[in-house]
Amino acid sequence: MDQTLTDRYSPLEQARRSRSIALTDTPSQLNARDQATLKAVLPSKCDYVDNAMFRGEDARKAIFDDAPPIRQPDVSWYRPVMENLSDHVKQNVGTVLLTAAEERALFLQFNYCRFMVSQLRDQIEKAGRIRAEAARELLDWYRKSERYRDQIAQTNLALVLAMAKRTRMSEVDFADLVSEGNMALLRAVDKFDVARGFKFSTYACRAILKAFSRSGVKLSKYRQLFPTDFDPKLEKSDFMERKRQAHEGDCADEIRTIIDQNRAELTEIEQEVIEHRFGVGSRRSRAADAESLTLEQVGKIIGVTKERVRQIQNKALEKIRQSLESEYLI
């Protein structure tokens, strides 16, 4: 197979291989983390974009040693941008722009690592057992491929942000749009064929925009099925709140009765202070929203200071509390 993406195993085939590998003795020289990685890598076929250079005699020297130095990506700008999404249109990000030669070398290194993982996995399967040396070599190539994949994705993070800015989808949250674009970017990294001579950005932009379009269509269909936005308040019962309000209303009515009938044996001045302060009794309106007076206003009516009004009020409230407790708590 030349210049094409290798076919994936079917789910049934992956399950069969997983069971067969589970019966194989895992090298005891590997730690638990390596063994877990090995069991995850071996059952599934490692996809890679093939290239004629991979099978050359000096493939490693041509791909790694003779490759131009590749600049590492700078992703220090990414977190501040994502934390201030309200200003994302105004923010300009800076990142590393690879040349065509650097990009070609990076993709060749990435796919060669995956090619080696695939080759070693096939050898282990044919041998029927896993040797420690082969396992370590497989894990080494696999981790290298993951590092190259992360490097390519981090180098092109600004591409996702640029496409998200250009997309006019007000119904989709910007953070969700960027997340969808990042997933599309990773898929594009796995499938891009550098041998065709195009820049990765040309291929990735189309893949990211198509992902945005699919996301918009999915959201549109969802809103057609569920036209009402989800409201957490609709999922919460208001029984306790209504019960509390009813209890408070009953207590307020009972206190009004105590004041009207003077069960707390309040003095005339105490009754006047309570009725003016809380808008109850014969001296004030019996409406639920009756206006209450301040301490100073009550003091002017009865001719005492507001501090004295406070003292009279506290003494009257204590009598009302004791009357209420004697009737209902005993």
Q: What is the pLDDT of residue 330?
A: 52
CB atoms within 10 A of CB 277: 21
Residue 199 has pLDDT above 70, yes or no: yes
CATH numbers and ranges of domains, the chain: 11-225 (1.20.120.1810), 239-328 (1.10.10.10)
pLDDT class of 130 with cuts at 50, 70, 90: confident
- Chain segment 213-248, per-residue pLDDT in tens: 888 888 877 777 776 666 666 667 777 888 888 888
Averaged over 156-178, what is the pLDDT? 84
Residue 79 has pLDDT above 60, yes or no: yes
Query: Half-sphere exposure of residue 310, counting CA atoms within 13 Å on the CB side?
Result: 4
